[in-house]
Structure 1
Amino acid sequence: MTVRTITTTTLKRLKNSVIGNPSAKLALAQDSAFIHSLVSCLNHPPPSFGEAQGSQDDIRIEAAHVISSISYGSEEALASLLRANALQAFLDALSTVKPLDPPAFKPAFARGLRILSCAIADVVGPSQLGLRTWSAQLRAESKAALNYLLEFECLDTYLPLLASPSTQTSISIAQLIGSAIRCEDHRNAITDWLPLADRLKEVKGKRGWERPDMVNSTAPSRQGGWVVRNLITLMQKKDLKLQEAALSAIAALAKDNPPVAGALAKASPDRDAIVPLSFVLSLTKSRAPDVQLAASLCATHILRANASNVHPASVDQIAALNVIHVVNRMLASETPQHRIKACYTLYYLVTDEKDLCQEVFDRGTLDKIASLVKSITPLEKGSEWEEDEPESTISLREAALTAIATISLFDHEIKRDIADNLQLLPTIHVSLTHRNVGVRYAASQCVRALSRAVAVIRTNLMDTGVGLTVFQVFKKPDEDPRVTYAALLAVCNLVNDFSPLRPIFVEQGLLPRLMQLHEVGDTDLRINVLFAMKNLLRMSKIPLKRTTMASLTWPLLTELSADPEVAIQEQAFSILRNIAGDEPGVDFVFESMSEEALATTIITGLDSPHEDVTREAAFFLGNLANGSKAQQDLIFSHPHILQSMHICMADAKSETRCPIVSCVYELLAANPKRRHEFNEVGIISTLRHMCDMTSTVSVSPGGRFSNHHHIHTEADVEAARGARKVLDLLDRNGTEV
């Protein structure tokens, strides 16, 4: 596409031609010279060429509209705009608007900045409504652009416009915040920002030891900061579009942000002031569906962030019910976008909240989502489904499956209902191979959730072929990494000892694929690759152990036990623990590792400052204690092992002390004469203290793990019971201790 002359008329014609026309947007994006000219028009429009007076102003406005129209056009269009420095051009245009300039300037430039910024944020992620795929180069360019947008000087340009007398301008800036803010650093940049006058006031008022929001009701940082306060004001306006935009912005700033969420949930010292959260909840009953949904998402993020700030599992159940009611209503809407937003709002509300998952199940929400996703998913593949399916339907399927996976993660009753009563497995099955990456990802997450139930694995996932299909998704070499990761999570569950799919997966190339993914170097992938191997080795026979270690190798496993990443260390010791789970396994360990390497590995684990690592190392050592007397001698030939055992027994949590105590028992049962070595390092004395522990205080209130709760638990009782068992053994053998 070539546009030789830029005038108001040609720009209007161009704007109308590209709206809703992806091919026209692509053609325009490929004309880089024109894109640069178009961006230049925002601040340096060409001469009027005889048009009516003031047409240069009109050109600037129309250029902003055209750029807005192509921002969401395609990867090529967005890349062209970034390389033409369109983001900087919009900021320059906004910063140079004069009082006598046309009133349409600010709304047009603010809208253009908002649309372009949102397109950039969608590339950077994390996604708000479904997964998309972008090139690495565009992601890098977009990340740099988004970081620039959040720099202080840029914030000074557009954030004051929240208080603009132009409603259109305020809406655009609120929408920008709601869509472009995706991470903690960006939230902090927005909430910490203050206008120049307030910045000066804050500097003058600080005395170092005071919290301004506590001692001064007019402090700039009160109620979440200047931006949040102004959004609360906008939220109370009668304009529905303004309410929706303000609610979306507050939601973005409150998400995973306990200080802001806490400020929004508490009452103000001013009796006449509203409690923001209460007002948000009142808007869930608005006559406008878009406002209801925005209020529900806003309330969700406030409730979840405030709960994490107050106490785990303390989400306000009554307030959450308001959101669930909106979701149930919107799932019956005829507008796909409303149903998509309802599913994602539910996802944000119930993620990792077992009680809320049960609540939505009890209120029939899962039934509604199941009926919805089945109604839009044909079980027989065909060209119509693969090629002609509307994007809105694809996005709705992804959203529904995402919600189903989240709701079903914890409760076995819910999993069985999905598999047996709601008969969703055929829908999940066909979605695993859908052409859309988001649908495949969501379906894989559903399999991951369902595969946490033993009965579902043994029957439904096996009989329907879903387990084998997700394994093929996992093995696919050119699959999207996000889908591969989700499929890996499902495979981790499907290789447990109770799964009939375990030997099939091994035969079909499980181990080479796991090692291939481990070599990618991504930390999350490495952790879950090792998690899969740990489950694969659980209660396994020696042939499978040998096959697994032929792929993983002993040198690599030893290296992983000292990896800088704590979660990697934990999984490595879990693998060692499962290998040594029976006598042949213990023999395999001693056969494969030198005495020095084995002792060093044990000491490294027991001496770790991280409880999770120490616990797994303790279980590994406990399993080794079941070996032969010659193998048990390893522990006594390295005094540091005994010293480390004593430290763990005294300082660690009960979950770690129990296997250490069990280890001591096995060693003494095999050779009571070893009592002197135990006595010399203080283990026998500590065993007596464990038997004498009170109901409220743990054995040792100090040491490496002194931050754990000193509360009498079932594990404490088990550890004390084990200690008494050891002492009784010594008494029966006539041993003085």
Structure 2
Amino acid sequence: MPTTAVSVVSASSSYDRQGDLISRIASPDADVKLKALREVKNQIIGNRTKKLSFLKLGAVPAISAVLSDYYSAGDDDKCGGKGNILVQSAAALGSFACGFEAGVQAVLDAGAFPHLLRLLTNPDEKVVDAGARSLRMIFQSKLAPNYDFHQEKNMEFLFTLLNSENGNVSGLGASVISHACRTSLEQQLLCEAGVLEKLASLLDGSLSQRDSCLESLATVLKDNSQAISRFVGIENGRCLSSVTALLKDRYPKTRLLSCLCLVVINNSAPCYLEDKGIKIRLLSTMLELLDDSGQVGDEAALGFSTLLAGKEDLQKLAYEANAIEKLLNYLRTSELRPKRRQGMLLSLAEMCSKLEECRSRFLSLQVVDVLSDGLRHESADVRCAACICLRNSARSIKNLSAGLFIDEKIMFPLVQLLQYPSTSVQVSALGAISNIVVDFTTRRSRFIECGGTKQLIELSKSMDPQTRVGALQALRNLMFLADIKCKEMIYSDLKAPEFSRLITDPEPSVQEQALALLRNLVDGCISSIEFVLDEDCLVLDAVGRQLRKVPQPEIAIQGMYVFTNVASGSELHKEAVMHQILPQEAESGSQNFVLKFLQSSEKKLRTATVWTIINLTSPSSLGAFDRHVKLRDAGIISQLKNMVTDPCLDVKIRVRTVLGQSMLFGEN
């Protein structure tokens, strides 16, 4: 077809022209070389496709060779226009590296990095600027060389950059800090060397210096309250005031960087940002930055979620600023890049994490389609964010009971995510499901019909501990107040050997959730208790073995409530629990684990243990007296008498119940 032929010819022609440019870069004629360098640079600016095409043709090694040759050459006639060629070579390499990891790798592989560093000492200011700008492009990438600040020569090099009167060079120094400072020890070394004071002095510099400085400050101060305290103390707080004042700067990127710097300070040392006016200004600035259609808006969305994380006061202020409506409006009406969509969903998730009024407002705004779109998005990060948003909004018992989360647009894609190849997506989906299935109505059947239960059981066998925990937690909540039919279905798929394996899993968090699932499974009618007697009490034996090891309180609490629920059943069930509490093969001289639990400092564990004894000695059961005698002989009743003044009211009441039952057996 004619259109196909034209298209092929056009592509071939373009490729030939690019090849011709590469050959002209190697021309001995300086003017031809200069024009070719400039044209390559202009063609690739902001065009990833052309960058890749030129990379395949070997443009970067050719340009790097020019940079090396012309820097090393003398000042004779053949080197006419040397400065311009150096500038254009450096600029072209910087353009390849700008926001393009393959370009950065190509520049480094071509050996251009040391040549660019040498440009910083060139007497021509334009050459220095070009070299510094290109190096800054490289240092924006994770592929850039790291500088070990423990080495004196590297610290000296850093301060040579920071002390330069050239704004691009000092800005490069700040970029080196942003790239290379990763640990608290490196933060400490930089602080002790006086980097904070130097960066503070650059806040009054050029736009380029200011932006680089703000980014570096955020890096040095992140998660480090000592560094923040030192920074705030510089010139009696003037530097902090300067950062705050930049919230009103005319340039969006500067406003964003000042916001992110203040977010870092507020997250680790909120005492320095207690002024409500500053918080409101910070919130409103970040919301305004969401209007930016470029990278600033993307970064602002993620920064806004970080600002709100765990901060109930800021979530309240954001709610009052109608942030929920604004974020939802963006998500509904705009074609958003994945990073921005992720940030907005995470921001909504944070607002729904603590305040019921935020959850109610969010859920009242017809959000099913927004969440459904997020769950189906091609980006794994967006899917995770949608799951977290769903999980936090599902904390609303009022809306949960109304069945708002059982919509097919939510349930089907959520269950599908359980088969997603990314572990982080699976874990996020499990977190959302755990909250949704705590449903006091019969709507949990919708989840089962979607195949969700089968997927949860399969994930409980995952090699990843977080996935196992998430799956078991979801199953635990699914079994909360479930009917016997639902419980039988779960148990028929898990079976006693698998339950036993999960209860003795090497990960404590998995043990806890497995026992919590079992606790819910055997809660209720007597027929559900029969599960633990299956295969010659295999599951109950596993519980007993774990408790005899005196595990972490969280695990012991769940285990004792399993015993409590089993002991509420028939004589057979009560005797099975007694066999675990007072086994015949117990070592002589070793203290019984029940006594240890009754003496625990954890009140919830004491409560669970006393509940078990109440059920074992209930006077309405035939063997209650014999069990009472055995517990008394083991010293358990005596220990309970010492607990009549327990500081926990719940424990005190339950202890008196047991002692009241003991009196019926003639106990004084």
Question: Shorter-chain TM-score category?
Answer: 0.7 to 0.9
Name 1:12's counterpart in structure 2: 38
- Residue 613 of structure 2, aligned match among 657, 664, 681: 664
For the 8 Å contact 1:330–1:338, the answer to whether it is kept is yes
3-state DSSP of counterpart to 1:20: coil
Name 2:600's counterpart in structure 1: 651
Distance in 2 between residues matched to 1:405 and 1:566, nearest whole Å: 28
For the 8 Å contact 2:116–2:135, the answer to whether it is kept is no
Name 2:169's counterpart in structure 1: 169
Name 2:50's counterpart in structure 1: 24
Given the superposition, is the C-alpha separation of residues 47 and 494 from structure 1 closer, same or farther in structure 2, using an over 3 Å criterion? same
Name 1:324's counterpart in structure 2: 283
For the 8 Å contact 1:511–1:551, the answer to whether it is kept is no
1:175-194 maps to which residues of 2 (within 5 A)? 175-178=175-178, 180=179, 186-188=182-184, 190-194=186-190
1:85-100 maps to which residues of 2 (within 5 A)? 89-90=112-113, 92-93=114-115, 96=118, 99=121
Segments of structure 2 that go 5 or more residues without pairing to the other structure are 1-17, 27-32
Name 2:3's counterpart in structure 1: none
Give TM-score scaled by structure 2 length. 0.83
- Which shifted more, 58-67 or 646-655? 58-67
Distance in 2 between residues matched to 1:85 and 1:691, nearest whole Å: 79
Deviation at 1:12, TM superposition (A): 2.0
Deviation at 1:459, TM superposition (A): 4.3
Give yes or no for the alignment of 1:404 onto 2:372. no
Deviation at 1:519, TM superposition (A): 5.3
Name 1:729's counterpart in structure 2: 661
1:381-392 maps to which residues of 2 (within 5 A)? none
* Cα distance per residue 1:154-206 (max 9 Å; x no partner): 9547632233222112223324544x46xxx8132531335xxxxxxxxxxxx
Distance in 2 between residues matched to 1:99 and 1:35, nearest whole Å: 23
- Which shifted more, 398-407 or 660-669? 398-407
Distance in 1 between residues matched to 2:373 and 2:433, nearest whole Å: 18
Deviation at 1:552, TM superposition (A): 3.7
* Cα distance per residue 1:370-410 (max 9 Å; x no partner): 3333332xxxxxxxxxxxx5xx6554433322211221122
Name 1:363's counterpart in structure 2: 321
Name 1:204's counterpart in structure 2: none
Deviation at 1:645, TM superposition (A): 1.7
3-state DSSP of counterpart to 1:691: coil
Give TM-score scaled by structure 1 length. 0.76
Question: 1:117 is aligned with what amino acid?
Answer: F
Distance in 2 between residues matched to 1:601 and 1:69, nearest whole Å: 63
Name 1:683's counterpart in structure 2: 636
Deviation at 1:650, TM superposition (A): 0.8
- Residue 531 of structure 2, aligned match among 565, 588, 595: 588
Name 1:207's counterpart in structure 2: none
For the 8 Å contact 1:538–1:578, the answer to whether it is kept is yes
For the 8 Å contact 1:336–1:393, the answer to whether it is kept is no
3-state DSSP of counterpart to 1:119: coil
Name 2:428's counterpart in structure 1: 486
Given the superposition, is the C-alpha separation of residues 239 and 48 from structure 1 closer, same or farther in structure 2, using an over 3 Å criterion? closer
For the 8 Å contact 1:280–1:295, the answer to whether it is kept is yes
Distance in 1 between residues matched to 2:663 and 2:554, nearest whole Å: 34
Question: 1:493 is aligned with what amino acid?
Answer: N
For the 8 Å contact 1:374–1:427, the answer to whether it is kept is yes
Question: 2:563 is aligned with what amino acid?
Answer: L
Distance in 2 between residues matched to 1:22 and 1:457, nearest whole Å: 47
Distance in 2 between residues matched to 1:549 and 1:149, nearest whole Å: 56
Of the two, which has the highest radius of gyration? Answer: 2
For the 8 Å contact 1:462–1:501, the answer to whether it is kept is no
3-state DSSP of counterpart to 1:398: helix
Distance in 1 between residues matched to 2:337 and 2:229, nearest whole Å: 37
For the 8 Å contact 1:606–1:614, the answer to whether it is kept is no
Distance in 1 between residues matched to 2:598 and 2:110, nearest whole Å: 62
Given the superposition, is the C-alpha separation of residues 54 and 599 from structure 1 closer, same or farther in structure 2, using an over 3 Å criterion? farther
Distance in 1 between residues matched to 2:513 and 2:325, nearest whole Å: 38
Name 2:414's counterpart in structure 1: 471
Identity percentage over the alignment?
22
For the 8 Å contact 1:251–1:298, the answer to whether it is kept is yes
Deviation at 1:55, TM superposition (A): 5.4
Give yes or no for the alignment of 1:226 onto 2:194. yes
Name 1:211's counterpart in structure 2: none
Distance in 2 between residues matched to 1:95 and 1:337, nearest whole Å: 28
Name 1:284's counterpart in structure 2: 247
Deviation at 1:575, TM superposition (A): 1.6
Root-mean-square deviation over aligned CA pairs: 3.5
Name 1:205's counterpart in structure 2: none
Name 2:392's counterpart in structure 1: 449
3-state DSSP of counterpart to 1:352: coil
Segments of structure 1 that go 5 or more residues without pairing to the other structure are 121-141, 195-219, 377-388, 695-715
Distance in 2 between residues matched to 1:242 and 1:623, nearest whole Å: 67
Deviation at 1:662, TM superposition (A): 0.6
Deviation at 1:529, TM superposition (A): 1.8
* Cα distance per residue 1:101-151 (max 9 Å; x no partner): 54445544443333233233xxxxxxxxxxxxxxxxxxxxx5xx67x4557
3-state DSSP of counterpart to 2:344: helix
Deviation at 1:609, TM superposition (A): 4.6
Give yes or no for the alignment of 1:117 onto 2:173. no
For the 8 Å contact 2:221–2:264, the answer to whether it is kept is yes
- Which shifted more, 342-351 or 517-526? 517-526
Higher helix share: 2
